[in-house]
Amino acid sequence: MSGGLDSATCLAIASKDYEVHALTIDYGSKHSRELDSARNLAGHFEVASHRILKVDLNAIGGSSLTDEKVLLDTGKNLDEIGNEIPSSYVPARNMTFLSLAIGLAEVVDAKSIFIGANAVDYSGYPDCRPEFIESFQKTAELGTKAGVEGNPIKIIAPLLKLSKSEIIQKGKQMNVPFFLTWTCYSGEARACGKCEACLLRLEGFREAGIDDPIRYEN
């Protein structure tokens, strides 16, 4: 879980029926403020445990989120988002995060992994597509002690086919504390309102007809 809307809503869904061991990856992104949001959300939903695991993806770079040399896309139109893989694509991020989650699931003896991946708004991210998630689950069955011993870990992505505004509506229904979430990629004191993440969030709230409780620049 990050500190964003999707993670918060996914956590609300998982908490309803499961004991949750939350895993946040601190991957050296420029918006480490998300970690504070993740901690606050974990506290709000009273998870059984919350680990923040450091992975130095800066050593790999190649994304505007992890590499100072790659600039963030700003000032795009909403129409342009999702047509191509954006500069914020972090190579193999969900594959790495899901692998770490599988490791944790084995250790805490969890039967399922919830991930807030979403294929609709971020169609530009190949590792948010259903076919990737399905294939990953098969690979994990073959590569883990749990899988080999006949207790495969199920990957549940409840938001995979929802639009951002549907996620916000769902979150609203489940009393997700949206004021605790953080979405902006640029990591300043207030959300920038211009990066692709802010644009999708703002548009999502607008479409859902719900007020976004966080504050933006200007």
Rounded Cα gap, residues 196 and 76, in angstroms: 7
Question: Residues 29, 88, 118, 144: which binds a copy of itself (CB under 8 A)?
Answer: 144
Give residues 15-54 in contact with a copy of itself (rule: CB under 8 A).
Answer: 51-54
Half-sphere exposure of 33 (CA within 13 A, CB side): 13
91 is a contact residue toward a copy of itself (CB under 8 A): yes
Half-sphere exposure of 84 (CA within 13 A, CB side): 6
Taking the complex as a whole, the smallest distance from the CB of residue 93 to a copy of itself amounts, in Å, to 7
Taking the complex as a whole, the smallest distance from the CB of residue 125 to a copy of itself amounts, in Å, to 9
- Considering only 7-15, 89-97, 167-175, 194-202, which stretch makes contact with a copy of itself by CB under 8 A? 89-97
Rounded Cα gap, residues 11 and 34, in angstroms: 15
Give residues 99-118 in contact with a copy of itself (rule: CB under 8 A).
Answer: 99-100, 102-104, 106-107
62 is a contact residue toward a copy of itself (CB under 8 A): yes
131 is a contact residue toward a copy of itself (CB under 8 A): yes
Residue 19's closest CA among 108, 146, 115? 108
Q: Are 50 and 20 in contact (CB under 8 A)?
A: no
Q: How many residues does the chain have?
A: 218
Minimum CB distance to a copy of itself smaller for 111 or for 138: 138
